[in-house]
Structure 1
Amino acid sequence: MPKLRTKRLSLRRPKSKRALNQIPGTLTYVGHKESSETILEVIDYNTNYFERYKSKNPQDALKFENEANVTWINIDGLNNTEEIENLGKRFNLHPLILEDIVNTDQRPKIDEYQDYLFVVAKMLYQNDDGQLLIEHISLVLGKDYVLSFQEAGGDVFDGVRERIEHKKGRIRNRNADYLLFALLDAIIDNYFLVVDDISDKIEGFEDQLFENRQDDDLIHEIQELKRAILRIRRAVFPIREVVGRLEKLNHAIIEENTGNYLRDLVDHIVQISENIDIYREMIWSLMDMYMTTISNKMNEVMKVLTIIATIFIPLTFIAGIYGMNFEYMPELRWKYSYFVLLGIMVIIFILMLYYFKRKKWL
């Protein structure tokens, strides 16, 4: 799983190129990651057997047809629609499902069919550069298999692969429905890491604001964080409905004891959703706090300027009076007039400073 780093998130999201006015069930790739070839990874296992196989030919998936085993087939490369369509025909997938598989803008959902279930979800993680990645993934659960479709290589399932290979936990003793739970659990667990990283960034921004250490980039970073939490919210909130429906689903390929694990999954996604709402409010508060801090700084500057202007008003008044060009002025010919007026100005200046200090305006 990619290591999370606290760096600025890159959030520019390309606009989707949705195909319009096409026949329902037409496979048109809608995404942003072009792959030159489709990569197939097959993990076939039971309690005492394990085989892992990689291939560039999707037809190799047809070799694994032993109902005594559980088969997980992971397909990378959604832009090769012809190969996706052929694979879908092999597993008798509905054309509308294939259309949703290659449409990466599809909202997370669950569809129930007689022989299988179709689940759409979003994987969230950060790469080594701190860039937030939200990737489309489609899962098909059959009686003894799970198909997972991704745009390109890289996912959050390394822990599941390790548990299967090294026979950790109970996954090797369970059926395909438990494998689907394990994959969804890995996706949702990674939500915690992404959301926790958002929390760390919020705390860092709060510390900077409380210490009055703003720079020109701070407001832009807060704005980027706001966009990040909105993207995360858009990806995560539909999963709550998906997992809730899956937990209540009465389908032949979902075993009753798997429901206990799915209920735990519901608790996790509810907790994540609540945290996202909390952090969303905190980010809005950061924006308000930043603007308030800037306003307070401006007020402090204006207060100093106002005090300086107030001090010089009487001094300017005196200077203005004695700067008039009248012939008859009482102190005009007195040899100490200049020094007396300077002394009066200094006294007024000191008295006003004392008054402002006493009022705690300075």
Structure 2
Amino acid sequence: MGRTKNIKKSLGQAPGTIVYTGTKENTELFIDVFDYDKQFFEEKELDVIEDTFKYIDSAPITWININGLNHVDAIAKIGEYCRLHPLILEDIANTHQRPKLDEYEDYLFVVLKMLHYGSEEQLHIEHVSFVLGNGFVLSFQEADGDVFDPVRNRLRNTKGRIRANGADYLLYALMDAVVDNYFTLIEKVGDKIEALEDSLFENGSADDITYEIQHFKKEILKIRRAVSPLREVVSRIEKSDHKFISEKTQLYLRDLYDHIIQVSENIDIYREMIWGLMDIYLTTISNKMNEVMKVLTIIASIFIPLTFLAGIYGMNFENMPELRFRYGYFVLWGIMVTIFVGLIYYFKRKKWL
């Protein structure tokens, strides 16, 4: 209900209107700034968006990371200062925007999804946006907590390659951190599928297996929807002749594209495996039903001739041939037992039992 409510907020709004469509509406605004070059490094934590303006215009490379997409006023202020298009500001706050790349003359705008499993093994999809400008990168996240700590540590290290390159390499490093986390996620997905497969073969037709398969199938589709469009995004950046993307960085972007292809292929494989598990489950249910029907059919086949004999000799006619036979009762039982044993032997010989 909450997700639908937030989506409806943006309906009917004029294009370029900044409306936060996520669910983390109580997130506090948090800003961290990294100002650096090969010899210089400064790291700051800020609470006011206006304090970031002086870093954007500074000579070194600047990375400004903004947490809290619910603070649309702050997004509007930095967008106005950097002269970002209103449609970009709208997409920054729209958490349902698919991964994409928008090229403008003075900057590049990239949207992607940051994926991770929470403490209760619940899949979380976080909306992340990047703006690459002349000597700076702006990143926008829904809340504090991300996968960029390796990038931060490399910036703090004076010997890191990232300090010797431009803002385009910083954008690559941030995107690469997100994609590297995809591999960790995919590994967990593989472990979950193996556990689900083991559970299917051990428990067979347990009632909760269907729910688990359907739930996990939805998770795979969400992951695929978040990751697959990124192939086109990275490919376009790698082939772009934009003035902010150097030939040196394009080589790294080509490697990033290969990683995205690998992740996408693994997701497609796991998707097929989930469908296969559903087929196995349905086959198991069908086989169990067939076993039940086979047993019932065999029982019916055995008792049909016995019921036939009992029905004949249960009729109330005075002139039945065997009615006054002294050993008729025992003979009838002998015939019925013989038929019973004979049918059991026949079914076993046919391997139906």
Contact between 1:35 and 1:78, CA under 8 Å: does it hold in 2? no
RMSD of aligned residue pairs (Cα, Å)? 1.9
**1:270 aligned partner:** 261
Aligned residues: 351
TM-score by length of structure 2 reads: 0.93
- Note closer, same or farther for the CA distance 1:296–1:33 as it changes in structure 2 (3 Å cut): same
Identity %: 62
1:133-172 alignment runs, 5 A limit: 133-167=124-158, 169-172=160-163
- Are residue 305 (structure 1) and residue 296 (structure 2) matched? yes
Structure 2 portions without partners, runs of 5+: none
Contact between 1:35 and 1:79, CA under 8 Å: does it hold in 2? yes
Contact between 2:155 and 2:162, CA under 8 Å: does it hold in 1? yes
- Note closer, same or farther for the CA distance 1:176–1:238 as it changes in structure 2 (3 Å cut): same
- Higher helix residue share: 2
Give a deviation string over 1:272-302, Cα, whole Å, max 9, x none. Answer: 2222222222222222221111111101110
**1:62 aligned partner:** 53
Query: Paired residue for 1:14, among 3, 22, 26?
Result: 3
**1:87 aligned partner:** 78
Contact between 2:200 and 2:209, CA under 8 Å: does it hold in 1? no
**2:208 aligned partner:** 217
- How many angstroms apart in 1 are the aligned matches of 2:3 and 2:186? 23
- How many angstroms apart in 1 are the aligned matches of 2:302 and 2:54? 92
- How many angstroms apart in 2 are the aligned matches of 1:97 and 1:17? 19
Using CA pairs below 8 Å that are at least 6 residues apart, which structure has the higher relative contact order?
1
Contact between 2:102 and 2:109, CA under 8 Å: does it hold in 1? yes
Query: Paired residue for 1:24, among 15, 39, 46?
Result: 15
- Are residue 198 (structure 1) and residue 189 (structure 2) matched? yes
**Cα offset, 1:312, TM superposition:** 0.6
- How many angstroms apart in 2 are the aligned matches of 1:137 and 1:343? 83
1:327-338 alignment runs, 5 A limit: 327-338=318-329
**Cα offset, 1:316, TM superposition:** 0.8
Contact between 1:35 and 1:152, CA under 8 Å: does it hold in 2? no
**1:5 aligned partner:** none
Give a deviation string over 1:176-232, Cα, whole Å, max 9, x none. Answer: 111100111111112222223222222333334445623111111111111111111
TM-score by length of structure 1 reads: 0.91
Structure 1 portions without partners, runs of 5+: 1-11
**Cα offset, 1:28, TM superposition:** 1.6
- Are residue 253 (structure 1) and residue 215 (structure 2) matched? no
Contact between 2:134 and 2:244, CA under 8 Å: does it hold in 1? yes
Contact between 1:37 and 1:56, CA under 8 Å: does it hold in 2? no
**2:343 aligned partner:** 352
Contact between 1:240 and 1:269, CA under 8 Å: does it hold in 2? yes
Contact between 1:117 and 1:142, CA under 8 Å: does it hold in 2? yes
Which amino acid in the other structure matches residue 35 of structure 1? Answer: N
